[in-house]
């Protein structure tokens, strides 16, 4: 299914074969088929596939194999990598958009993991996490919502309200912003970490006190790719009860999904200025066109998109040692509508790059 130029670029090769969509069979057979087709029987490889969101997800058991085949529409792109290489770039949604600048923390991380194989659950995508439990008051909760690649809406509404604060003179009423509604089936509801009438205290580390509802709305939307909300839950019964400091690990940040990049973020929030906080920031997509106007025939009006389409290849000219697949995916992923699931005709018509 892949266009040949991708292969040349990445020193990889491509094979195309068909599977019975209704009865894909077992993973083991599939693995053998892959290894055989590529003549790589001696190498340990991991197999992954690109799902409809453009995320690279693993195929390592019958269940996710079935899931992968069922998601093919009509093609399934399967990626095969050497196992040691693959370890450097973990699967999952975050893998595609992570900041390329390596954090110091990460340098020695993967190596250890390869030996221990105590790792992150590879076949899950992080959805939310509670972070910074060690630095914020027990009555507050700092929740991080991961929305990348997720089709679900964030799914909540906020409203104005009044909250009661303890002041030197006694209790005083101050204006506040509260969660007013959860959209059923939305990301916020599905995490269970936010609830109606929770008071919003901070958005991505910036206090909302003194800001209007519209300002808070704009701040949340501007941070929606990596939204960190500090709330004071209306229901205070489920708070984390901290043990004594001496108990060590209980004072550490807990992370409900143990996503690997939530750890740096937890520290970032307290240590770094806000600007450096977006370790997960999605980079803007830049596409280059062919810039040889005299050589290229002048495109007739209406087919300018073709110029653009041809320009995809140079954009990928400097893949890093790792993450090249992710880069390709991430650029393709930027518009889900035109991602891998598109029928070939659609791609032809618009040119693959037009929609990026």
Partner 1 sequence: MMKFRFRRQGADPQREKLKQELFAFHKTVEHGFPNQPSALAFDPELRIMAIGTRSGAVKIYGAPGVEFTGLHRDAATVTQMHFLPGQGRVLTLLDDDSLHLWEIVHHDGCAHLEEAIHFQAPSRPGFDGASGLPSLAHITVVLLVAAGDMAALGTEGGSIFFLDVPTLTLLEGQTLGPDEVLRSVPDDYRCGKALGPVESLQGHLRDPTKILIGYSRGLLVIWNQAARCAERIFLGNQQLESVCWERSGHTVVSSHSDGSYAIWAADTGDSPTAQPTVATTPYGPFPCKAINKVLWRSCASGEHFVIFSGGMPRASYGDRHCVSVLQAETLVTLDFTSRVIDFFTVHSTRPEDEFDEPQALAVLLEEELVVLDLQTPGWPAVPAPYLAPLHSSAITCSAHVANVPAKLWARIVSAGEQQSPQPASGASSWPITGGRNLAQEPSQRGLLLTGHEDGTVRFWDASGVALRPLYKLCTAGLFQTDCEHADSLAQAAEDDWPPFRKVGCFDPYSDDPRLGVQKVALCKYTAQMVVAGTAGQVLVLELSDTPAEQTVGVASLDLLQDREGFTWKGHERLSPRLGPLPWPAGFQPRALVQCLPPAAVTAVTLHAEWGLVAFGTSHGFGLFDYLRRSPVLARCTLHPSDSLAMEGPLSRVKSLKKSLRQSFRRIRKSRASGKKRTVAGSKLQEANAQLAEQAGPQDVEVTPVQRRIEPRSADDSLSGVVRCLYFADTFLRDAAHHGPTMWAGTNSGSVFAYALEVPAAVAGGEKRPERAVEAVLGKEVQLMHRAPVVAIAVLDGRGRPLPEPYEASRDLAQAPDMQGGHAVLIASEEQFKVFTLPKVSAKTKFKLTAHEGCRVRKVALATFASVACEDYTETCLACLTNLGDVHVFSVPGLRPQVHYACIRKEDISGIASCVFTRHGQGFYLISPSEFERFSLSARNITEPLCSLDVRWPRGATHIRHPRAT
C-beta of 163 vs 239, nearer to partner 1: 163
Do 193 and 143 contact (CB within 8 A), yes or no?
Answer: yes
Query: Does 276 participate in binding partner 1 (rule CB under 8 A)?
Result: no
Residue 302 is inside which H or E element, if any? none
Q: Which of 159, 195, 232, 272 binds partner 1 (CB under 8 A)?
A: 159
Q: Which is nearer to partner 1, 64 or 223 (CB)?
A: 223
Contact letters (x/-) for partner 1, 204-243, by CB under 8 A?
Answer: x-x-x--xxxxxxxxxxxxxxx------------------
- Answer for which of 99, 181, 232, 267 binds partner 1 (CB under 8 A) is 181
What gap in Å lies between CA 334 and CA 39, rounded to an integer?
A: 34
CB-wise, 174 or 240, nearer to partner 1? Answer: 174
Rule CB under 8 A: is residue 288 a binding residue for partner 1? yes
* Rg of the chain on CA atoms, in Å: 24
User: In terms of residues, how long is the chain?
Assistant: 356
Cα–Cα distance for residue pair 46/43, rounded to 1 Å: 10
CB-based contacts of 59, cutoff 8 Å, min separation 6: 27, 30, 47, 48, 49, 65, 68, 78
Nearest residue to 193 (alpha-carbon basis) of 245, 148, 254, 248: 254
Question: From the CB of 142, what's the least distance to partner 1, in Å?
Answer: 16
- Specify which residues 146 forms β-bridges with: 226
Q: Does 33 participate in binding partner 1 (rule CB under 8 A)?
A: no
Q: Work out the number of other CB atoms within 10 angstroms of the CB of residue 64.
A: 18
Tokens at 27, concatenated: 């993973």
Among 285, 313, 316, 347, binds partner 1 (CB under 8 A): 285
Residue closer to partner 1, measured from CB, 258 or 313 = 313
Bridge partners of residue 175, in order along the sequence? 162
Residue 99 sits in the site that holds partner 1 (CB under 8 A): no
Find the shortest distance in angstroms from Cβ 318 to partner 1.
10
State yes or no: residue 196 binds partner 1 (CB under 8 A).
no
Using the rule CB under 8 A, is 60 a contact of partner 1?
no
> Binding to partner 1 (CB under 8 A): which residues in 322-351?
334-335, 337
- Give residue for tokens 């389409």: 309
> In angstroms, what is the minimal distance from the CB of 206 to partner 1?
6
Give Cβ neighbours of residue 253 (< 8 Å, ≥ 6 apart).
131, 132, 133, 134, 263, 266
CB 187 within 8 A of CB 176: no
Q: Which of 303, 312, 261, 325 is nearest to 285 (CA)?
A: 312
Q: Which residues contact 217 (CB under 8 A, 6 or more apart)?
A: 158
* Stretch of 9-17, 73-81, 251-259, 305-313 contacting partner 1, by CB under 8 A: 305-313
| Closest separation in Å from C-beta 298 to partner 1 | 6
What does the angle CA 188 – CA 192 – CA 197 come to, to the nearest 5 degrees?
Answer: 75
Instruction: Based on the shown chain and the rule CB under 8 A, indicate whether residue 67 belongs to the binding site for partner 1.
Output: no
Q: Which of 20, 107, 108, 275 binds partner 1 (CB under 8 A)?
A: 275
Euclidean distance between CA atoms 202 and 45, whole angstroms: 44
Rule CB under 8 A: is residue 9 a binding residue for partner 1?
no
Position among 10, 31, 124, 157 found at the interface with partner 1 (CB under 8 A): 157
Helix (H) or strand (E) holding 265: helix 262-271
Out of 158, 193, 325, 328, which residue is the one contacting partner 1 (CB under 8 A)?
Answer: 158
Check residue 124 for interaction with partner 1 (CB under 8 A). Answer: no
40 versus 222: smaller Cβ distance to partner 1: 222
What is the contact surface with partner 1 in residues (CB under 8 A)? Answer: 147, 153-160, 180-181, 204, 206, 208, 211-225, 274-275, 281-294, 296, 298, 301-302, 304, 307-308, 311, 334-335, 337, 353, 356
């Amino acid at each position: 299914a892949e266009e040949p130029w991708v292969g040349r670029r990445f020193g990889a090769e491509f094979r195309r074969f068909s599977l019975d969509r209704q009865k894909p069979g077992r993973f083991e057979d599939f693995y053998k088929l892959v290894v055989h087709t590529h003549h790589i029987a001696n190498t340990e490889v991991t197999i992954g596939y690109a799902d409809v969101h453009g995320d690279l997800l693993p195929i390592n058991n019958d269940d996710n194999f079935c899931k992968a085949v069922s998601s093919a529409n009509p093609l399934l792109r399967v990626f095969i990598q050497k196992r040691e290489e693959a370890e450097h770039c973990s699967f999952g949604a975050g893998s595609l958009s992570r900041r390329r600048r390596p954090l110091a923390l990460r340098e020695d991380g993967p190596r250890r993991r390869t030996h221990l194989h105590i790792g992150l659950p590879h076949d899950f995508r992080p959805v939310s996490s509670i972070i910074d439990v060690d630095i914020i008051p027990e009555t507050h909760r700092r929740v991080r919502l991961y929305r990348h690649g997720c089709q679900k809406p964030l799914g909540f509404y906020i409203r104005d309200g009044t909250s009661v604060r303890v002041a030197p003179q006694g209790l005083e009423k101050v204006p506040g912003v509260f969660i007013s509604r959860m959209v059923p089936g939305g990301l916020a509801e599905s995490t269970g970490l936010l609830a109606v009438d929770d008071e919003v205290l901070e958005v991505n580390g910036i206090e909302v006190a003194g800001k209007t509802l519209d300002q808070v709305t704009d701040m949340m939307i501007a941070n929606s790719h990596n939204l960190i909300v500090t709330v004071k839950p209306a229901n205070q019964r489920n708070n984390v009860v901290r043990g004594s400091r001496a108990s060590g690990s209980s004072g550490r940040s807990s992370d409900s999904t143990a996503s690997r990049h939530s750890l740096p973020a937890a520290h970032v929030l307290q240590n770094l200025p806000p600007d450096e906080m977006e370790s997960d920031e999605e980079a803007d997509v830049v596409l280059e066109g062919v810039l040889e106007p005299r050589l290229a025939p002048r495109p007739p009006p209406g087919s300018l998109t073709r110029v653009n389409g041809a320009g995809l290849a140079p954009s990928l000219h400097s893949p890093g040692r790792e993450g090249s697949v992710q880069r390709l995916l991430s650029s393709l992923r930027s518009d889900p509508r035109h991602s891998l699931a598109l029928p070939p005709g659609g791609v032809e018509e618009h040119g693959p790059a037009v929609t990026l």
